[in-house]
Chain A
Amino acid sequence: METTTSTNEAPSAQPERQAGRIFAWFDRRVALRALLHESLDEPIPGGARFAYVFGSGLLFIFLSQIITGVVLALYYVPSADHAHTTVAYITKEVMAGSFLRSIHAYGSSAMIVVLLMHLAQTFLYGSYKGRRELLWISGCALFALVIGMAFTGYLLPWDMKAYFATAVGTNIASEIPLVGDWLKRMMRGGAEMGTLTLSRFYVAHVFLIPAAIFAFVAAHVYLFRRAGAAGQISEDPIKPKQKPERFYPRQVLMDLVFSLLLIAALGFLSYFVPMELGPKADPSDTQFLPRPEWYYIPVFQWLKYWPGGRAIIGILVIPLIVIALFVGLPFIDRRLERRPWKRPLTVGVFALVFFSLVALGALSYRDDHGDPGVVKQLAKQREETEQFMRAPFEPERMGASLADAAPADPLVTAGKALFEAQSCSACHGEGGEGTAAGTRLIGIGAKMAPEQLAGLLRNPTDKMKDGGMAPLTIKDEEIRAIVAYLNSLK
């Protein structure tokens, strides 16, 4: 309306400085002053507190996820053929690539940690009370969307654990009656996991879920501002009586201090313990034990107790009851009483659910560490991941290599024949690709000098002997040929 905009004109009583004039120019057109007032002068009953920083912290990590996610897309290709190569390229070659990928991957855990803190604060402070039902429900939707982001993002590197964790995750969905099988095929883009699954997860991860998150964040912030900050536990959630303090500057500063701590923690973790990438997904592997991320562990453990026909109760009925109670909380707990010790039932039920989840996590840990077979397999998987991380980046070859077309080195050909004749391939696999009984030899030339390799073939270490490696008693020339062959394995 034309008449209302004119009321935002800055009073031109005092002489304005240059900066002031520029501000006024924009203010007349954008209503900057009103905008700043609206966003910064929100009253907080009872004053600024560090207890209120978690919502802003979540927004901050979400922003960090957007920025790191967008730059990762500079190199990432969502196809089963290239996804793993491109993530390996990011991790091993691109400057700051390992760091940014780690910030993004650890960021998903950070989102969930801060989300739980935000939830705990809202719950303990009773900040969902007093006409805040929709605010709470929009928060529940955001919780589900964040979990969805973590689930879809996990597959994208297309390494062993990504592949198998998603295979299990999508199989769980198929247990739902009537729609389950359809849902699974919908998520996978067919009956099997494949490149279409990756495309679908990618689209969900970078287009659909983020769009929904934007919409729900807008709704969540709007509903929050509409209801007003709830303040302390002693405060009336509808008509606050305590002395208000504006959002800016002290609460803004507290929010930023918390955000700084979060990014510092993520930065240190990413720098000193960068996120690893495992070997490329191999659907034919029957040994691999997928283990979900820590926030799925309780659910993963829970599903172990619901075999066969009763699975429906564990997978659908009980979770639906818990979700309904959780989402419906502000409709169930309607009193305006906010002090936790005056609400023993709600706090008690929540504590019970929370500690059950922690206990399930502990049980899962105990199960995994009590079974020697599992311990051994998980250790082997860790070793394979570390081995893959140590190997230099191997670019993907398009078409036949020039080296392949060139006539093979006669020494290498002789070495290959010896490798097979000496039954090396029995343990180390065809072409040195490795088996359960013997180490993978592909790429070993990049890790060891030829003399070192020759030495090991003549005198294996005790560890190698324990694994069944016998010292080679053949001519020096033959050793040279085998070493040349090993060096050619790439």
Chain B
Amino acid sequence: MQSETERTVSQDRRSFLGALIGVGTVGVGALLSIPLVRFALHPILAKTTETAWSDLGAADEFASLAMPMKRLIKVEQRDGWRKVISEKSVYVTKSADGQVRVLSSVCPHLGCSITWNDARTQFVCPCHVGVFAPDGALITGPPPRAMDELETKVEDGRLKVRYQYYRQLMPTKEVIA
């Protein structure tokens, strides 16, 4: 078949040009794909802005807290090109030495919502029966660590909390960026 067509370039030249085309195309293609990859990976690579502090209520409201109390907080977050306000539930409780602590209701095992059981005076995760003490310490069950404590501060007499998510299934608490 090949011998039928007239050859205008020698076989050597043909394979040299072929190599040039191959290498050139791959090289330029790789260069051009850099902006495409950066563009597509923007939500993963870009630094996330810190979530703002959410208001929990007057600080002295929690001074005489006997049992953990569930609170809904509003969190303002960036979601791509939008700013959304979502509601999250947290527990306000006290540590052994009487300090106010705010706990995330997200189970450190697989992320179910932990509920407070009044009768047992324990936190119980309904999914795989992780059991936690009123201050959030792990008692029994599959969770690898205690309930996650959120960062708090008191500003102008108001208790504020910074809501964050933490990686599941890890023995140590690690913020998800």
Contacts and interface: CB of A to CB of B under 8 A. Distances in A.
B84 A37 contact: no
B87 to A, nearest CB: 11
A74 B40 contact: yes
Interface in B40-77: 40-42, 45-46, 52, 54, 74, 76
Nearest to B17: A249
B66 to A, nearest CB: 30
A398 B35 contact: no
Given A256-B21, A401-B76, A395 B81 contact: yes
A249 B21 contact: yes
A263 B24 CA distance: 14
A74 B43 CA distance: 11
Contact of A398 (B14, B21, B83): B83
B45 to A, nearest CB: 7
A397 B82 contact: yes
B17 A250 contact: yes
B8 interface: yes
A350 B23 CA distance: 42
A260 interface: yes
A88 B82 CA distance: 12
Given A43-B5, A74-B39, A253 B21 contact: yes
Contacts of A86: 81
A256 B54 CA distance: 57
Contacts of A263: 28, 32
A50 B85 CA distance: 59
Contacts of A100: 35-36, 39
Contact of B82 (A74, A97, A395, A400): A395
A85 B81 contact: yes
Given A89-B80, A243-B8, A395-B78, A94 B39 contact: yes
A99 B39 CA distance: 10
A41 B8 CA distance: 12
A402 B36 contact: no
Interface string A65-78: 00110010011000
A208 B35 CA distance: 27
B21 A252 contact: yes
A95 B38 contact: yes
B38 A399 contact: no
A41 B4 CA distance: 11
A94 B83 contact: no
A49 to B, nearest CB: 13
B25 interface: yes
A71 B34 CA distance: 13
A148 interface: no
B17 A75 contact: no
Contacts of B41: 95
A82 interface: yes
Contact of A95 (B39, B54, B83): B39
A246 interface: yes
**Which of A85, A93, A94 counts the most chain B CB atoms within 10 A?**
A94
Contacts of A250: 8-9, 17
B20 interface: yes
B1 interface: yes
B17 A95 contact: no
Contact of B46 (A95, A244, A245, A398): A95
A41 B3 CA distance: 12
Given A74-B39, A246-B5, A399 B25 contact: no
Interface in B75-123: 76, 78-85
Nearest to A40: B18
Nearest to A405: B74
Contacts of B155: none
Contacts of B34: 96
**Which of A88, A99, A252, A402 counts the most chain B CB atoms within 10 A?**
A402
Contacts of B5: 41, 43, 244, 246
A210 interface: no
List 10 A-B pairs, minimum CB-CB distance, nearest first. Answer: A96-B35, A249-B17, A89-B81, A245-B8, A96-B38, A95-B38, A96-B39, A395-B83, A94-B42, A398-B84
16 contacts: A47-B8, A67-B36, A95-B38, A100-B39, A244-B6, A245-B6, A249-B21, A250-B8, A253-B21, A263-B32, A395-B78, A396-B82, A396-B83, A397-B82, A400-B85, A401-B76
Interface of A: 37, 41, 43, 47, 67-68, 71, 74-75, 82, 85-86, 88-89, 93-97, 99-100, 243-246, 248-250, 252-253, 256, 260, 263, 393, 395-402
Given A96-B39, A263-B32, 6 more contacts: A41-B5, A250-B9, A250-B17, A260-B28, A396-B83, A399-B85
